[in-house]
Structure 1
Amino acid sequence: NVIGDVRGPEIRDRQQCPLVEAFVLETLRYISHTPLALHSTREATSIAGYHVEKNTSVLACFWNMHHGDSEWEDPFLFKPERFLQQDGSLKPASDPVRKSFLLFGTGRRSCPGEVFAKSRLYLFLSTLLQSFNVMEPEDHSLPEFDPREMDSGLIMQPKPFKIRFERRKQRF
């Protein structure tokens, strides 16, 4: 509805497509592709009341951050609307829900590629949805998608599945 079918999606369309943005954020939260991050303290510090010496390895578990009941209602349900306000706009970065999403880290140690990654995901997804209907294959049913069943490792990966793409009529 925002872009139409006379041109492809552009970065400037992003703010007018909050559901696509919410879908991207919920996908990243739900799957937590990189479940762990390893850091080292540069100086002695305190974390949640515990003293931590300089040069101590600290393991951040993004999986638990993104699937904990205390931060996320129904954490194993895929709900892009959790990132939307009542009026359908994207919740601001200062919203507690958005602040609980830490896949790219936070502060000085946050990933420098976050802005680029999210913009590319938006362009990829919006172009895909504009160009194709995405459907269940005619000869298979889609499996239940539960991130707890993914192949774990340094990067979480879904088990193989089939999907059908049907090209939409395009004018551009």
Structure 2
Amino acid sequence: MLDDPRINAAFTTLDLYHQVLVMAAYLYRQRRLIEAFDQLYAEQATGLFIQALYSALLLDDDQALQRLRQQVEQCIPDTEVYPAQEGAYAQNLLIALMYFLDFVQTQDPAGLERSLAMQLENIDLLHYEQDEHYDADQALEQERQVLLALMAAVEKRPGKRCRDVQCLADLSQPYSL
């Protein structure tokens, strides 16, 4: 999605903190999916998901982020062990989170692209569940619009840092899945 000229132009004008904030909010909007996984399988993935996003917002030191990344990687559910759809959602979301943490540490856009790709896997699954013949191009354009809207919302709050996860909830709430 970052190759879309509209998104690229808006994203590259943001400083690192605001890029992280936009992407953290974009990830946070799928929180319901990880919560459903935890409810079904009595796991604790939501807490780790929130902790990792919060640490990313703080732009924690590399060692702390690396430890969290390793925890996230270890927590990624195997869909053979967790075969319900919630397992696939959680797997995609935690992989997306892992790639996002890579981006926060390295500022390499490749990590962001991989994160977005995994998040879009969940978008695809959600649309497919509703309608096997959904328009994938239209769904992708809707996601582009969400990302552009999040960037616009973040630009309206220059200099303001998120001090807690409620900020992510507030930013992503209109676009929650």
TM-score bin (small chain): 0.3 to 0.5
TM-score of the superposed pair, with normalisation by structure 2: 0.36
Q: Which has the higher contact order (CA 8 A, sep 6+)?
A: 2
> More helix per residue: 1 or 2?
2
| Greater radius of gyration (CA) | 1
